Amino acid sequence: MIHRLPRVMSSWSRSAVFGVVLLLLLGCNNLTMAQTEDVFGDAAADPVKLFERGQSAHARGDLIKALEFYNEAIKVRPEFAEAEFQRGNALVGLGRFVEAESAFRRAIELRKDWSLPYSALGALLVRLNRDSEAELFLRQAVKFDAQSNLALRLLADVRLRAGDAKEAVDLARRAANDKEAPISTWLLLAMAERASNDNVGALDSLEKVLQLDPLNVSALMERAEIRIATGDNERAIGDLQAAEPLVKGDKPSFSRIAADYELAGKPEEARRVAESAGLIRLEEGSGKSTLKVVGTPEEIAAANSEDPIVARKALETLLGKNPHNAMLMARLGTSYRTVDPTRALNYYKSAAEIEPANPDYATGYSAALVQTRRFAEAAAVLRKVIAADPTNYAAHANLATALYELKQFAAALDEYEWLLRAKPDLSVTHYFIATAHDYLGEYEQALAAYEAFLGGADLKTNQLEIEKVKLRLPSLRRQIQLGQGAKQKSRRPAKH
């Protein structure tokens, strides 16, 4: 039992760093320490007991409940720094970053010499791409705890991005001195050493990474590039071949591998990787592939960027040079789909008109129609796509949405049930199946689907749907008990 509020966490501040790392960098909600559940009746008046119950809920992954307890503890004792700190961690886990920032700043205000909230706030600011602000708090964290592995690593990463490889190396080496330093520390050290032209040191650090994790794709690619730079192309190609199957759809990594194959003297391998990943490439020879466009290497690199603003601008520049390239139009359609659906619609429509047989362009066009709530038009296009490509998952998903919005629930059910068979683990599909049955008055089937949804729903991702279902179930069960609905005249057997 914890008795003295001002130092509730002082005994475990060092070990809690690991919890902060997971919460802030990996999105995990587990803590390193769970407190005992309160078994007394006076917990509501005792901030320590409220804090302990919050810790227990936090350890179980119930962030909403944990936040409630932390808030209650702070109401009873407003100067409770530890509760503010853990409140910030819970808010990060819930994606409520503005509130989390305020909580960490309040914890710092209450305990100015405590390194953990400085580290946590620094990590959050790094996550929000506010490096210059993050650096100030990370330096304070290191000032109060010179061995803070999290703060050292994050600060090294910030300095490396700022172009200060020398300090990045010093900070990363200090972090690597920790016997419990994660693999990422050695990878960061290798990158900093490479940036400071210490290839020998970088190779040694990468060797440590690969001894612990032979399939670490970042380490394999870093080592390949160092080997290419030093003329060891044969072993570099071996690293690239090992890294390639590990990338799994990450377009920037595929682009990097393709460029590395080119540098290693394997242009045919570079071409194969680029085309398999759908990367835009410079036009070569008399090739007819729509993946190849006229443009500068800088424009091509920018168009393949993961930054949507950078990529969008470059794609528009390239389209000006390649006005009839359907692939560029479709890529722009994808880029604009969520920020400007009308513009996306026009780009997709143009791509589909140029290559009407391409199901991806037609599906993209119909998805933009759905986005602009032109559901009937979308359904007509999607039925044609599915007729030509019956296993097109995206087309089925968009058709299900269009039919559902058109209140054609019986037809929508056919699509949702197809989606469920294709991806049985996607629990939210049960929700739409349930609501469709509910609208049709098929209450028993709706109940079965609602229960299936609750059994697999993600508490964080599907929170709104979960709350709606819990509100609906009592009245639905009463309707079934009263014999209401179409259960005796059901138009279809349940497929759940």
Total count of domains within the chain: 3
How far apart CA 279 and CA 301 sit, in angstroms, is 10
Q: What is the CATH number of the domain that holds 484?
A: 1.25.40
By percentage, how much of the chain surpasses pLDDT 70?
85
Residue 392 lies in a domain: yes
pLDDT higher than threshold 50 for residue 42: no
Tens digits of residue pLDDT in 282-320? 444 333 344 567 777 777 778 877 777 888 888 888 888
The mean pLDDT value of the chain amounts to 82
Which residue would you say has higher pLDDT here, 7 or 454? Answer: 454
pLDDT (average), residues 168-192: 93
How far apart CA 270 and CA 266 sit, in angstroms, is 6
Write down the pLDDT at residue 279: 61
Check whether residue 339 and residue 419 sit in a common domain: no
Collect all residues with Cβ–Cβ distance below 8 Å to 157 and sequence separation of at least 6. 126, 168, 188
Mean pLDDT lowest among 46-50, 356-360, 391-395, 430-434:
356-360
Most trustworthy range by pLDDT among 15-19, 50-54, 267-271, 484-488 = 50-54
**Position 460 confidence tier, pLDDT thresholds 50, 70, 90:** confident
- The residue with tokens 């020998």 is 200
Residue 239 lies in a domain: no
Residue 265 lies in a domain: no
Collect all residues with Cβ–Cβ distance below 8 Å to 126 and sequence separation of at least 6. 134, 154, 157, 158
CB 143 within 8 A of CB 124: no
Write down the pLDDT at residue 307: 77
**Position 122 confidence tier, pLDDT thresholds 50, 70, 90:** very high
Q: Which range marks the domain in which residue 391 is found? A: 280-406
Check whether residue 385 and residue 443 sit in a common domain: no
How far apart CA 235 and CA 203 sit, in angstroms, is 13
pLDDT (average), residues 245-262: 81
pLDDT (average), residues 360-374: 84
Check whether residue 451 and residue 326 sit in a common domain: no
Q: What is the CATH number of the domain that holds 303?
A: 1.25.40.10
Check whether residue 394 and residue 440 sit in a common domain: no
- The residue with tokens 């050695």 is 186
Residue 252 lies in a domain: no
How far apart CA 492 and CA 243 sit, in angstroms, is 49
Check whether residue 67 and residue 131 sit in a common domain: yes
pLDDT higher than threshold 70 for residue 5: no
How far apart CA 282 and CA 274 sit, in angstroms, is 11
| Number of other residues whose CB lies within 10 A of the CB of residue 435 | 22
Residue 48 lies in a domain: yes
pLDDT higher than threshold 50 for residue 370: yes
Residue 232 lies in a domain: no
Q: What is the largest CA-CA distance in the chain?
A: 81
Domain boundary pick from 374, 406, 438 = 406
Closest CA to 21 of 131, 146, 156, 127: 127
pLDDT higher than threshold 80 for residue 23: no
Write down the pLDDT at residue 278: 64
Check whether residue 379 and residue 492 sit in a common domain: no
Q: For the purposes of burial, counting CB atoms within 10 Å of the CB of 370, is it exposed (0-12), middle (13-18) or buried (19 or more)? A: buried
Write down the pLDDT at residue 7: 34
pLDDT (average), residues 260-269: 85
Which residue would you say has higher pLDDT here, 483 or 116? Answer: 116
How far CA 4 is from CA of 8, 46, 80, in Å, comes to 6, 12, 11
How far CA 184 is from CA of 21, 172, 189, in Å, comes to 12, 10, 9
Closest CA to 362 of 338, 390, 330: 330
Check whether residue 17 and residue 112 sit in a common domain: yes
Domain boundary pick from 91, 116, 145 = 145
**C-alpha 276: how far from chain center:** 23
Which residue would you say has higher pLDDT here, 78 or 356? Answer: 78
Residue 491 lies in a domain: yes
Check whether residue 398 and residue 475 sit in a common domain: no
Most trustworthy range by pLDDT among 5-14, 106-115, 316-325 = 106-115
Domain boundary pick from 406, 424, 446 = 406
How far CA 420 is from CA of 35, 196, 405, in Å, comes to 40, 52, 19
pLDDT higher than threshold 70 for residue 211: yes
Ramachandran bin of 278, using left for φ above 0, alpha for ψ from -120 to 50, beta for the remaining angles: left
